């Protein structure tokens, strides 16, 4: 271990300061191109069949695309990532718990010095998995909750019974000493359930995050999202309702914090680092390993990718940003005024929507325009409020 | 005295970070960063040691006066004890 310049301040900073530290570490990692944050997408399979899922595959589809990594391969990749400097490790899928060898992989990863997080739909939770998590908890668990009643689960996930199973799973997870968050993705079938979903979430945790933007499936997944996703207007209405609820609670002193929201583009836009077209940490300080072993900047991309199992982890990580170096936004976006107000036109989203990096996707345009318009309205609205 | 098992010191992106593993995550959520002489002391304390040994090692490694080093070691040990990190 290297000891740097002997400084004479014996400092010890504990978890309370972790959030601030995480940001500075992320910045330093990006500047040095160190792979600080990883996502292991353990499987493309799922016990549910959500109609808007961007990633789930059927067995027949998956075999044509690639081979699922074995538990040993994930564990050996984890060792490579440790050596390379990965600290934050998110396990996701598909549904990670649907892997019969999940406990084996999880146990091995939890014995290694990562800050582990898990995404799950909770419907496969059983006493054994609960005991595993209680004994060696991840730092955080995010549970997706798709509806507030069996009917909605039936419509969205193709399984009405999954509603009760999810609630039972949430009950079990609420007993795990971890930071629990409930997340809902909204589409036509559950957009009327915002309040009911928030109430259910509140039984288990204070953290409830919503996602209102659904993009087309990627990497061979075939969900027909166009038939069920929200229109730009509906998406903004829901987002506004969600924010207003928390603002009102904050005013009345009931809610100390802003609502948790899905990460917004631009959190780390200070960096003018290659590949410049990506305005987040993707390929700079974070990466995604897909179920079949591709390394991608983030899970929304399909390609280009590198192959850590074939070329070695370090080579794959070094080569990743070079694949995106010459990439640019579509010509029209580069001269678009709306972009300055914030547009979800990340190349990953463009690739998901258009199937290429060059065509401007109408859905993304509509979202950005709706948002820009509301920002205008919001200003007028709040002025009126203050003068009344 | 030594650091309890299950805490691992890592050197990541120019920070020394202590990460709890396995069952230790129940005792300590999140991570700790160590700066200044703290990583050096931590490493010494991965094996059983005493305050006297620590002071001697620090004086060997750093140019600092004994009183100052002793104070810093004491404050680190107190913090570690407060966080329940020590096997005494
Ligand atoms: S609003 Fe449309 S054209 Fe403008 S930046 Fe967004 S996607 Fe591109
Ligand atoms: S979608 Fe784009 S902005 Fe979002 S994480 Fe992926 S690369 Fe970053």
ipTM at complex level = 0.93
Question: Chain B: nearest CA to A47, how far in angstroms?
Answer: 27
> In testing the pocket of ligand 2, which one of A280, A283, A299, A352 has its CB within 8 Å of the most ligand atoms?
A280
Say yes or no to pLDDT of B58 above 50: yes
Condensed to tens digits (0 to 9), the pLDDT of residues A53-103 reads 999 999 999 999 999 999 999 999 999 999 999 999 999 999 999 999 999
Say yes or no to pLDDT of A262 above 70: no
**Which chain B residue's Cα is nearest to A179?**
B29
Say yes or no to pLDDT of A5 above 50: no
Say yes or no to pLDDT of A283 above 90: yes
Interface of A with B in 137-166 (CB under 8 A): 137-139
Element (DSSP H or E) covering residue B40: helix B38-44
Model pLDDT, residue B7: 96
Contact A28 B13 (CB under 8 A): yes
Q: How is A301-353 classified by DSSP, letter by letter?
A: --SS-B-HHHH-HHHHHHHHHHHHTT----HHHHT-HHHHH-----HHHHHHH
Say yes or no to pLDDT of B70 above 70: yes
Question: Chain A: nearest CA to B47, how far in angstroms?
Answer: 15
A253–B contact, CB cutoff 8 A: no
Least confident piece of the model among A13-17, A119-123, A327-331, A335-339:
A13-17
Model pLDDT, residue A24: 81
Grade residue A261 by pLDDT with cuts at 50, 70 and 90.
very low
Closest ligand to C-alpha of residue A361 is: 1
Residue A101, number of CB atoms within 10 A of its CB: 12
Say yes or no to pLDDT of B21 above 50: yes
Model pLDDT, residue A263: 43
Q: Which two tokens stand for residue A225?
A: 């999202």
Model pLDDT, residue A386: 31
SS3 state of residue A371: helix
Question: Chain B: nearest CA to A183, how far in angstroms?
Answer: 22
Q: Which two tokens stand for residue A233?
A: 């207007």
Q: Distance between CA A102 and CA A133 in Å, rounded?
A: 12
A127–B contact, CB cutoff 8 A: no
Looking at B1-88, which runs of residues are DSSP E strands? 2-3, 7-12, 15-20, 32-35, 86-87
Least confident piece of the model among A87-96, A320-329, A339-348, B40-49:
A339-348
The whole-number average pLDDT for the span B5-22 is: 94
Contact A6 B9 (CB under 8 A): no
The whole-number average pLDDT for the span A271-292 is: 90
Q: Pocket residues for ligand 1 (CB within 6 Å)?
A: A 332-333, 336, 338-339, 343, 345, 360, 364-365, 368
**Which chain A residue's Cα is nearest to B9?**
A113
The answer to whether the CB of A327 is under 6 A from ligand 2 is no
SS3 state of residue A381: helix
Contact A13 B33 (CB under 8 A): yes
A20–B contact, CB cutoff 8 A: no
The per-residue b/e assignment along A87-96, b for 16 or more CB within 10 angstroms, e otherwise, is bbbbbbbbbb
Say yes or no to pLDDT of A248 above 70: yes
Say yes or no to pLDDT of A267 above 60: no
Say yes or no to pLDDT of A380 above 70: no
Model pLDDT, residue A11: 62
Residue A272, number of CB atoms within 10 A of its CB: 6
Nearest ligand 1 atom, CA A336: 4
Percent of chain B, pLDDT > 90?
Answer: 75
Say yes or no to pLDDT of A382 above 80: no
If you count DSSP H runs as helices and E runs as strands, how many of each does chain A have, helices first?
Answer: 15, 9
Say yes or no to pLDDT of A30 above 50: yes
First-last CA distance in chain A: 63
Nearest to B69 by CA among B35, B43, B48, B38: B38
Say yes or no to pLDDT of A342 above 90: no
Model pLDDT, residue A20: 62
Question: Chain B: nearest CA to A114, how far in angstroms?
Answer: 7
Model pLDDT, residue A377: 56
**Which chain B residue's Cα is nearest to A131?**
B23
Nearest ligand 2 atom, CA A299: 6
Model pLDDT, residue A230: 98
pLDDT higher at A271 or A265: A271
**A260 secondary structure, DSSP code:** P
How far away, in angstroms, is A265 Cα from ligand 2 center? 7
Model pLDDT, residue A274: 83
Percent of chain A, pLDDT > 70?
Answer: 86
Considering chain A, what is the average pLDDT of its residues? 89
Model pLDDT, residue A279: 86
The answer to whether the CB of A298 is under 6 A from ligand 2 is yes
A114–B contact, CB cutoff 8 A: yes
Say yes or no to pLDDT of A137 above 80: yes
Sort A383 into a burial class: Cβ within 10 Å, 0-12 / 13-18 / 19+.
exposed
Grade residue A12 by pLDDT with cuts at 50, 70 and 90.
low
Closest ligand to C-alpha of residue A337 is: 1
Condensed to tens digits (0 to 9), the pLDDT of residues A149-208 reads 999 999 999 999 999 999 999 999 999 999 999 999 999 999 999 999 999 999 999 999
What count of residues does chain B have?
A: 88
Model pLDDT, residue A268: 45
Contact B23 A1 (CB under 8 A): no
The answer to whether the CB of A282 is under 6 A from ligand 2 is yes
């Amino acid at each position: 271990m290297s000891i740097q310049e002997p400084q004479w301040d014996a400092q010890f900073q504990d978890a309370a300061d972790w959030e601030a530290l995480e940001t500075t570490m992320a910045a330093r990692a990006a500047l040095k191109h160190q792979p600080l944050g990883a996502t292991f997408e353990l499987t493309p399979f799922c016990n549910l069949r959500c109609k808007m899922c961007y990633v789930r595959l059927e067995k027949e589809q998956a075999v044509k695309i690639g081979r699922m990594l074995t538990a040993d391969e994930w564990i050996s990749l984890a060792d490579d990532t440790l050596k390379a400097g990965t600290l934050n490790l998110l396990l996701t899928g598909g549904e990670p718990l649907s892997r019969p060898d999940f406990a084996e992989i999880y146990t091995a990863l939890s014995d290694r010095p990562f800050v582990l997080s898990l995404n799950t739909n909770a419907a496969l939770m059983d006493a054994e998995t609960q005991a595993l998590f209680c004994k060696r908890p991840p730092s955080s668990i995010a549970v997706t909750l798709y509806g507030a009643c069996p009917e909605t689960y039936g419509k969205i996930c193709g399984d009405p019974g999954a509603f009760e199973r999810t609630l039972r799973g949430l009950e079990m997870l609420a007993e795990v000493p971890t930071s629990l968050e409930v997340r809902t993705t909204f589409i036509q079938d559950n957009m009327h359930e915002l309040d009911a979903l928030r109430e259910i979430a509140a039984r288990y945790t204070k953290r409830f995050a919503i996602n209102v933007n659904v993009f087309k499936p990627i990497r061979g997944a075939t969900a027909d999202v166009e038939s069920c996703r929200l229109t730009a207007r509906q998406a903004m209405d829901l987002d506004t309702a969600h924010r207003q609820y928390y603002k009102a609670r904050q005013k009345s002193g009931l809610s100390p914090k802003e609502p948790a929201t899905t990460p917004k583009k631009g959190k780390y836009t200070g960096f003018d680092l290659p590949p410049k077209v990506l305005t987040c940490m993707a390929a700079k300080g974070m990466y995604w390993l897909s179920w079949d072993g591709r390394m991608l900047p983030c899970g929304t991309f399909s390609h280009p990718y590198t192959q850590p199992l074939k070329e070695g982890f370090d080579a794959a990580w070094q080569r990743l940003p070079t694949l995106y170096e010459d990439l640019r936004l579509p010509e029209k976006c580069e001269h678009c005024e709306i972009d300055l107000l914030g547009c979800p036109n990340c190349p990953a989203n463009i690739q998901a929507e258009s199937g290429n990096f060059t065509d401007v996707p109408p859905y993304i345009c509509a979202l950005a325009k709706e948002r820009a318009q509301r920002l205008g309205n919001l200003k007028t609205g709040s002025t009126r409020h203050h003068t009344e | 005295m030594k650091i309890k098992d299950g805490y691992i010191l890592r050197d990541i992106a120019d920070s020394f970070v202590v990460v709890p593993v396995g069952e230790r995550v129940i005792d300590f959520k999140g991570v700790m960063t160590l700066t200044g002489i703290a990583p050096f002391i931590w490493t010494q304390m991965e094996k059983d040691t005493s305050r006297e040994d620590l002071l001697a090692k620090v004086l060997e490694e750093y140019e600092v006066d004994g009183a100052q080093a002793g104070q810093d070691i004491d404050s680190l040990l107190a913090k570690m004890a407060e966080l329940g990190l020590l096997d005494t």
